[in-house]
Amino acid sequence: MDCLQEWPEPVVPVQSLSEAPTLPDRYVKPPSQRPSVGDAARSLDIPVVDLAMLPGGGGGVVEAVSEACRHWGFFQVVNHGVSLELVRRFREAWRGFFHLPMEEKKRYANSPRTYEGYGSRLGVDEGAILDWGDYYFLHFLPCYLKDHDKWPELPPCLREATDEYGVEVRKLCRRVMRALSLGLGLDADRLQKALGGDDEGVCIRVNFYPRCPRPDLALGLSPHSDPGGLTVLLADDHVHGLQVRKDGVWITVHPLPNAFIINVGDQIQVLSNAEYQSVEHRVVVHAKEERLSVAFFYNPRSDIPIGPVPELLAAPGRAALYRPMTFDDYRLFIRRRGPRGKPQVESFEAMAIPGT
Ligand code: OGA
Ligand code: NI
């Protein structure tokens, strides 16, 4: 599609604006979307699951993961098995990248065609109100889409750390997928198979939220649900920012040390026929602190139809809520619109075919 070839207007890295005394108009959200609205100072937080007991499935892990995905769509994991030394090395490499001179980063400026590289906006609506964040987006799997030349060359350890991190977090996703299958009463490998077996896709988005002159008027990332399968988020180790919508209220997530935050994406909502929820979330920014987070998107093979797993529709009265669609088609739809509200997957519910 032509409209996805180029950005509709010149892209300005947010980092280059962050020392400005005022917030440029392009980043001022309408009053109803500003961070203070609907944000209750609650002590409520997302569930925490100790994965030490997986993969045996014992110790209540399956129940804990499946409960969290039914009621929250989000949970934190501790004892996840990914080397903490690797996590630290990976995070510092990317922090180093965002602190390189702008000219070096701009070598990797991205386009809306694939989004790969260094970017500052999502969606191609001309004149849209923008989010206060820059990012780097890359493909890790399938192998034919992974291209080291599209990853930053500097800092020197970045590519190696990213490769190692990708391998380890993929293993973690597979363990979580097994728990999610068992939690639906399916064979342990059922959801993985439905996602494409060993041909799953993985993309990584490193988010960098610079200091913001008016954090009360802006958002780092607008409300959205993640379009893929699962997301494993490595949050900043010092600065909070992620908020999850629970019963209409924005809840601030407080990451535990050495934890990952995992959330259900739209494709798992579809596969599970809405037993598991892909939940809206957003990011707030700060006046005095920048923030780095890394989203690891675990996605289906992109060219196979993804629909509710047939076994889940066997019981009387269980109708398919979604018509099968490839992730390629779904992603194209999302990329045109940019981050926008509660599961875009709902736009497709109207197309559901009762009784199939
Ligand atoms: C994302 C996302 C949250 C964060 O990248 O999709 O929701 O805390 N990130 O940066
Ligand atoms: Ni997200």
The rounded mean pLDDT for the chain is 91
> What 3-state class would DSSP assign to 209?
strand
| Mean pLDDT, residues 336-356 taken together | 52
Query: In ligand 1, which atom is closest to the CA atom of 235?
Result: 8
Q: Cα of 244 to ligand 2 centre, how many Å? A: 10
Tens-digit pLDDT profile for residues 228-256: 999 999 999 899 999 999 998 899 999 99
Dihedral of CA atoms 144, 149, 150, 156 in degrees, nearest 10, equals 130
Flag whether pLDDT at 15 surpasses 60: yes
Enumerate residues lining ligand 1, CB below 6 A: 205, 207, 221, 226, 233, 235, 241-242, 281, 283, 293, 295
Flag whether pLDDT at 285 surpasses 90: yes
Candidates 138, 204, 206, 207: which one to mutate for ligand 1, based on the most atoms within 8 Å of Cβ? 207
**pLDDT score at 55:** 56
Residue 268 CB-half CA count within 13 A: 33
Candidates 74, 206, 231, 244: which one to mutate for ligand 1, based on the most atoms within 8 Å of Cβ? 231
Q: Cα of 132 to ligand 1 centre, how many Å? A: 12
- How many whole angstroms separate alpha carbon 91 and alpha carbon 87? 6
Residue 291 CB-half CA count within 13 A: 25
**pLDDT score at 355:** 35
Flag whether pLDDT at 294 surpasses 70: yes
**pLDDT score at 18:** 87
Residue identified by tokens 């020392």 is: 19
**Which of residues 341 and 64 earns the better pLDDT score?**
64
Flag whether pLDDT at 157 surpasses 60: yes
Residue nearest to atom 1 of ligand 1 (CA): 295
* pTM listed for this prediction: 0.94
Q: At what angle do helices 84-98 and 158-183 cross, to 10 degrees?
A: 120
Q: Which has the closest alpha carbon to 324: 341, 312, 307?
A: 307
Residue nearest to atom 5 of ligand 1 (CA): 295
What percentage of residues in the chain have a pLDDT greater than 90? 81
Tens-digit pLDDT profile for residues 31-60: 999 997 555 555 689 999 999 865 554 569
| Mean pLDDT, residues 77-99 taken together | 97
